[in-house]
Chain A
Amino acid sequence: MRKAAAKNTAETVIHGIFLLLGLITVGCVLLITIYLIIAGLPAIKEIGLIDFLFNDTWESTSDNPSYGILPFILTSIYGTAGAILLGVPVGFFTAVYLAKFAPPTVKSLVGAAVSLLAGIPSVVYGLVGMIMLVPAVRKLFGLADGASLFAAIIVLAIMILPSIIKVSVTALEAVPKEYEDASLALGATPTETYFRVSVPAAKSGIAAAVVLGVGRAIGEAMAVMMVSGNVANMPELFGSVRFLTTAVASEMAYASGLQRQALFSIALVLFLFILLINATLNFFLKRGKEQGS
């Protein structure tokens, strides 16, 4: 009896410790959320919500400052959409190949390469983009300068590949083998089976992969800062543009007064975007679970 009681106490203590550690994480999220709201609202109040979100001029350090973040919002949306447009097809077909077609050696080799791609720091993507991609874009399209939304889209498309491939592969591999066997037994070819049976069965997982890619693309700052030119123009494919993330990152170091507060407001807007993306992700994952059971 005593032994059992001691064991119980130990269990309780350990549960308590784990709970505490879990609460630290929740606490961090809460702290950041509350801080962002407190730090982000004053500038929005002062500038006016409509003017802040829909004015197309950002001149934060001018004598007559203007704080419109529409160019940043549109750039972030276009940039992310472009990256998804380029990255998803490549990532999706790579995932199908890796999960279903690839021989084991190729699979482990490509898998390792994808993991490595995920591990490359974003500043390295930026540096390579700046030294190789930007001049290449300039020469290829005969532009005066290559730093543009287009260059940023290319970099982002490559950066989101690992998340898309890895999550899709996991989803595709989780498709019960019986589904595929049944399809094959009915005379379908492997290709028909994989695209008509496996992919539909894994569609919520693949959707989650895409949403994860969106999250990664919209939140990236360092790499796009080095290839997009960073001028607060309305977005143009071959023009110099500034994203929501880079708007915060590029001016924060030297900002003061209302400019600084407005940067926090941009961060708040970005945070709301990320929340929305997370909610979408949860929706897909939940639906996947319901379908699975």
Chain B
Amino acid sequence: MKKTLAMAAALVLSAMTFTACGEKQGVSTDGSTSMSKVIGSLGEAFMEQNSDITFTYNPTGSGTGITAVLEGTCDIGLSSRSLKDEEKQKGLTETVLAYDGIALIVHPDNAVSDLELETVAKIYTGEITNWKEIGGADGEIVLIGREAGSGTRDGFESITDTEDKCAYRQELTSTGDVITTVAGNPNAIGYASLASVEDTVKALSVNGVAPTEATVKDGSYPIQRPFILVTKKDTALSDSAQKFFDYATSSAAHDIITGAGVVPAN
């Protein structure tokens, strides 16, 4: 009987210690899953230099990240789209960290390798439905997209001017799912972050420009979007968070951002 009591007491005690931790200096980020590669590398490099600060990244999505900053549950929000006016009115401000090209991907066996931006829009709105109309083999075009609210979808639709008009066959919830699906279907076309594109799929040129880091940087590749750090306008960041913010936007972080496949903004 005493044993049971002691165990119960130990349980209660251990439960209490759980609530007491969390005093260590830290910087927490929350948001866009598209930014996981770049923010992950930045966080790692930052922690190497500042071993006393813990860096955390919560891959939830741009919308959640922005809400998290508003509610104060994280220091810096990550968004792969610009802030909406209603979000700015709530006292948030944005700092562009990098630019990300959105690549159009098809199955490697697809004969099509270049599309005009207008043609891309026509394909996604369902005006062009067969690959043979644009120089490919006979086959119904299968449109693969992302879920409503996704930063990549928002970026893609706003650049191609196809908002709410896309006739998707599939709406998937991650970049990896899009790539896997396109790699498995010779008639599929999808879009994904340039940084995540693998050899299992073929990235198309748009207006004759191939999606590369150089063409995204000089602005000649048309489908690109910003990666943004979201903070509160009138509330100062904690010392550790400010340190990370300064580091991420400094020229010292250039190589790391480039290494993650996106183009540094400054």
Question: Quick check: is B180 within 8 A (CB to CB) of the other chain?
Answer: yes
- Please tell me if A279 contacts chain B, counting CB pairs below 8 Å: no
Q: Is A240 located at the chain interface by the 8 A CB criterion? A: yes
Q: Are B181 and A147 in contact (CB under 8 A)?
A: yes
Interface residues of A in 116-158 (CB under 8 A from B): 130-131, 134-135, 138, 144-147
B173 lies within 8 A of A225 (CB): yes
| Chain A residues whose C-beta falls within 8 Å of the C-beta of B111 in the assembled complex | none
Binds A, one of B20-28, B55-63, B98-106, B255-263: B55-63
Q: Are A240 and B63 in contact (CB under 8 A)?
A: no
User: Is B149 a contact partner of A254 (Cβ separation < 8 A)?
Assistant: yes
Q: Once the chains bind, are B5 and A10 in contact (CB under 8 Å)?
A: yes
A59 and B170 CA atoms in complex are apart in Å by 15
Contact B63 A253 (CB under 8 A): yes
The answer to the question of B252 belonging to the interface, with a C-beta cut-off of 8 Å to chain A, is no
List, in ascending order, chain B residues with CB within 8 A of A134's CB: 181, 184
Instruction: Find out whether the CB atom of A259 lies under 8 angstroms from the CB atom of B180.
Output: no
* B42-64 interface (Cβ within 8 A of A): 60-64
Does B213 reach chain A (CB closer than 8 Å)? no
Write the chain B residue with the least CB distance to A146. B185
A-side contacts of B8, CB under 8 Å:
13-14, 17
Tell me the bound Cα distance from A240 to B64 in angstroms: 27
Cβ of B218 under 8 Å from chain A: no
* A contacts with B, residue count (CB < 8 A): 36
- What is the chain A residue whose CB lies nearest that of B4? A14
CB distance from B240 to the nearest CB of A (A): 26
Quote the shortest CB–CB distance from B188 to chain A (angstroms): 7
Contact of A108 with B by CB under 8 A:
no
A-contacting 9-mer, from B118-126, B140-148, B191-199, B243-251: B140-148
Interface residue A61 (Cβ < 8 Å from any Cβ of B): yes
In the assembled complex, the CB of B161 is this many whole angstroms from the nearest CB of chain A, namely: 13
A240-269 CB contact bits vs B (8 Å, 1 = yes)?
A: 101000000111111110011000000000
Whole-angstrom distance from the CB of B126 to the nearest CB of chain A?
Answer: 12
Contact A240-B170, Cβ < 8 Å, known A147-B181, A254-B150? yes
Across-interface contacts of B147 in A (CB, < 8 A):
230, 250-251, 253-254
Q: How far is the CA of A188 from the CA of B180 in the complex (A)?
A: 55
Judge whether A254 and B164 touch: CB under 8 Å: no
* List of A residues within 8 angstroms of B1 by Cβ: 7, 10, 14
A129 CB to closest chain B CB (Å) equals: 11
Q: A13-B5, A145-B188, A231-B169 are in contact. Are A253 and B60 (CB under 8 A)?
A: yes
B33 within 8 A of partner (CB): yes
Q: Interface size on B (CB < 8 Å)?
A: 36
Residue A229 lies at the interface, judged by CB distance under 8 Å to chain B:
yes
Cα–Cα distance between A240 and B62 once the two chains are bound (Å): 26
Q: Are B64 and A253 in contact (CB under 8 A)?
A: yes
Whether the pair A255, B63 counts as a contact (CB closer than 8 A) is yes
Are A130 and B177 in contact, CB atoms less than 8 angstroms apart?
A: yes
Give which listed residue, B4, B61, B142, B188, contacts A254 with CB less than 8 A: B61
Residues in B neighbouring A229, C-beta threshold 8 A = 169-171
Q: Inside 8 A of A138's CB, which chain B residues have their CB?
A: 185
Q: Which residues of B contact A60 (CB under 8 A)?
A: 148-149
Q: Does B139 contact A (CB under 8 A)?
A: yes
Q: What residues of chain B lie closer than 8 Å to A226, measured between beta carbons?
A: 172, 177
Q: Which residues of A contact B169 (CB under 8 A)?
A: 144-145, 147, 229, 231, 240
Can you sample 26 A-B contacts with CB below 8 Å?
A14-B5, A17-B8, A61-B148, A62-B163, A130-B180, A130-B181, A131-B180, A134-B184, A135-B185, A144-B169, A144-B187, A145-B169, A145-B187, A229-B170, A229-B171, A230-B147, A231-B168, A242-B171, A252-B61, A253-B61, A253-B63, A253-B147, A253-B149, A254-B64, A256-B149, A259-B149
Residues of B within 8 A of A (CB): 1, 4-5, 8, 33, 60-64, 66-67, 139-142, 147-151, 163-164, 168-173, 177, 180-181, 184-185, 187-188
15 new A-B pairs (CB below 8 Å) besides A242-B171, A251-B147, A253-B61?
A7-B1, A10-B5, A17-B8, A60-B148, A62-B164, A63-B163, A135-B184, A144-B142, A145-B142, A146-B185, A229-B169, A230-B172, A250-B171, A251-B148, A253-B150
